Amino acid sequence: MKLRGEGFVRAPVERVWQYLHDPAVLREITPFVRQLEQVEGGNYTTESEVKVGPIRGTFRGKLRIEDIEPLKEFVVVLEQGSTMGNSTVQMRIRLVEEDDGTRIEYEGDARMSGLLARMGQRLIGSTVKKVAGEFFTNLQHRLQEDWA
């Protein structure tokens, strides 16, 4: 399933880039995420607690960041498993400098199995939009707190 969207934060590209690569920040601002530990380089382990409609449970998995073009774009590959099924999300994230801040575009696709596929497929489009919205809002707040 294809995913695509964008957000905007009032901060320069360099700062946004730095925050998007800081596990401690990401853990704090990403909805559902409870744990995000760097294993080595661009590899992390993750754990999230999800509650979306009928989809509830703990998801554990791996996150990998690759194809990094500093200050411009990178690819996030997130593989998560739970008793409700497994999901693989591959997302290209692009930062675009604008006059008063940074536009963050994302584009990718998600594959799901098990109960997730049966129940979650119809929810994922709207959920990703909602989660992304919260993420950008949180990111903006965090940037303002740190740099105001």
Partner 1 sequence: MGKYIGKSVYRVEDDRFVTGKGKYTDDIVLPGMVYVAFVRSPYAHARILSIDTSQARAAEGVVGVFTGEDECGQYGVPCGWQVNFKNGETMREPKQPLLAVGKVRFVGEPVAVVVAESLAQARDAAELVQVDYEELPAVVDPKAAMEPGAPLVHEEFPDNAAFDWCLGNDRAEVEAALANAHHVTELHYRQNRLTPNAIEPRSYIADYNAVEDKWTLYTATQNPHLIRLLLCAFTLGIPEHKVHVVSYDVGGGFGSKIFHYREEALVTWLSKQVGRPVKWTADRSEAFLMDCHGRDHVVHARMGFDAEGKIVAVLADEYCNMGAYLSTFAPAIPTYLHGTLFQGLYTTPLIHVNVVAPFTHTTPVDALRGAGRPEATYLLERLIETGAREMGMDPVEIRKKNFIPPFDGVETPGYQTQVALQYDSGNYEGALNKLLSIVDYEEFRAQQEAARKEGRYLGIGFSTYIEACGIAPSAVVGALGARAGLYEVGHVRVQPTGKVSVYTGSHSHGQGHETTFAQIVADMLGISIDDVEVVHGDTEKVAFGMGTYGSRSLAVGGSAIVKSVEKILEKGARIAAHKLECAVEDLEYSEGKWTVKGTDRSVSFGEVALTAYVPHVYPQGEEPGLDFSSFYDPVNFTYPFGAHAAIVEVDVETGKVQILRYVAVDDVGNVINPMIVDGQVHGGVVHGIGQALLEEVVYDSDGQLLTGSYMDYTMPRADDVPFIETDRTTTPCPHNPLGVKGVGEAGTIASPAAIVNAVVDALWPLGVRDIQMPLTPLRVWQAIQEASN
Least distance to partner 1 from the beta carbon of 118, Å?
3
Least distance to partner 1 from the beta carbon of 132, Å?
23
Least distance to partner 1 from the beta carbon of 122, Å?
7
Please provide residue 17's backbone torsions phi and psi, each rounded to the nearest 5 degrees. Answer: -60, -45
Q: Which amino acid is at 82?
A: S
Q: How many residues bind partner 1 (CB under 8 A)?
A: 16
Give the angle 112-89-77 at the CA atoms, nearest 5°: 140
Structure tokens at 79: 């593989």
Name residues whose C-beta falls within 8 Å of residue 42's C-beta, 6 or more positions apart in sequence. 64, 65, 66, 68
Least distance to partner 1 from the beta carbon of 56, Å?
11
- Helix ranges restricted to H, 2-120: 13-20, 23-29, 114-115
Complex with partner 1: residue 43 or 86, whichever CB lies closer: 86
Indicate whether 54 belongs to the interface with partner 1 (CB under 8 A): yes
Cα 37 to the center of its chain, rounded Å: 15
Least distance to partner 1 from the beta carbon of 120, Å?
10
Complex with partner 1: residue 71 or 117, whichever CB lies closer: 117
Residue numbers 18-47 binding partner 1 by CB under 8 A: none
Residue 69 vs residues 66, 78, 116, 120: alpha-carbon distances, Å: 9, 19, 32, 32
Residue numbers 76-135 binding partner 1 by CB under 8 A: 83, 85-86, 111-119, 121-122
Complex with partner 1: residue 54 or 133, whichever CB lies closer: 54
Residues in contact with partner 1 by the rule CB under 8 A? 54, 57, 83, 85-86, 111-119, 121-122
